[in-house]
Amino acid sequence: MCRKIFAVLEDRQKADPENENPITTEELGSLVGLKKRATQNHLSNLFQRGRLDADRRTPIPGIPAVTQPQLPGAVEWARRVIESDPVFAPDPTCAKCLVALAGFGWRGQIDPAELAAAAGVSVRSVERHRPHLVEFDYVRFTVVPVPTGGAGKFKGRKPSRFELMSGFYARPLTDEERALVPARAAQIIDRVRWYVGVSPEERFNAETAVGFVLRAGWPEEAILKALDASEDRHAFNPNGYLHKLLGKLRGQRYLIPAQESFTGEGYRRLAECSVCRTATWTTAPASHRVLCGGGTCLEAGSDHDTRDVRPLHRSA
């Protein structure tokens, strides 16, 4: 998108060298399909990279073409994938597309032409290799249709939303975690604000359905997001609507997002304290050591297992 804005400003400069009719941010945004705030962010990026003068409207020539501002975390993750995955690494076009996509962040919205420009390949190459990224579980794309006035009718689509994924699925639950699934499912249903006015039998069936998703490794916050839990909506058939939304998750294992895997911070999960073995909630990945007090065990008062340590008795 930075490229598009820069190109528009270059064309304006050629048409109006004296800049007698400066273009406004709103006009510039409408030409490239952005809102005012997003346009301001891209203008600021171009200015910081020395592509625009201080007025943020005059292009500065003689500098190589700009790229989308890169986020070090996502780009570093993408480069590690290319270096470590022996199957994925040999395909140079897939590698270019993944690194370019990571330059837009862990998640966002992008069209093939924009991705092709950032990766330095053709749009046709992007369309050919984008399914490979999905097949390797490194990215998920979501179509964004543009609705019309009529219900269920659309007049096109916006650029697809994307989210970088780690390529790893959630581990199976332990026996202790599976025993807690019914209670966790009940807590999830309690947090769905629009799920009201149902019979005890419907409530039980809803908790059972959520339990199946939990056993597949889905964390609570991901389930609540899929259920629009915070929305104050009036569902005509709450039970049917809940099962419809759960249908998007049912039968699928939880694919861990790349940001969660790379940063070590993700959805809450139930784990066992490494010292006292007490069940505790944490956002740390499964490979990390967990303590019930965060940095220390609340029962032992330290980060070491003291259950088998005998006290030292000194005699006078």
Give 294-303 pLDDT, tens digit per residue. Answer: 777 877 765 5
Q: d(Cα 18, Cα 148) in Å, to the nearest integer?
A: 42
pTM metric for this prediction: 0.57
Tokens representing 99 are: 């690194």
In angstroms, rounded to a whole number, what is the distance separating the alpha carbons of residues 132 and 269? 31
The CATH architecture to which 72-169 belongs is Orthogonal Bundle (1.10)
Count of Cβ atoms closer than 10 Å to residue 147 Cβ: 11
What does the pLDDT read at residue 2?
78
Full pLDDT tens readout for the chain, 316 residues: 777 888 888 887 777 776 677 788 888 888 888 888 778 878 877 766 667 766 677 776 644 444 444 445 888 888 888 877 666 555 788 888 898 898 888 888 888 888 888 888 888 888 888 898 999 899 999 888 777 666 666 666 778 889 999 888 888 888 888 898 999 999 888 888 888 888 989 999 999 999 999 998 888 888 888 887 666 677 788 888 888 888 888 888 888 888 888 876 555 566 678 788 777 767 665 546 778 777 778 777 655 544 444 443 444 4
For residues 163 and 140, the answer to whether their CB atoms sit within 8 Å is: yes
pLDDT of residue 225: 83
Q: Where are the alpha helices (DSSP H) in 193-280?
A: 200-215, 220-226, 238-246, 258-263
Domain boundaries, the chain: 2-48, 72-169, 175-256, 268-316
Contact indicator for 190, 184 with CB cutoff of 8 Å = no
Q: Write the burial class of residue 173 (CB in 10 Å: 0-12 exposed, 13-18 middle, 19+ buried).
A: middle
* pLDDT value of residue 162: 92
pLDDT at 283: 65
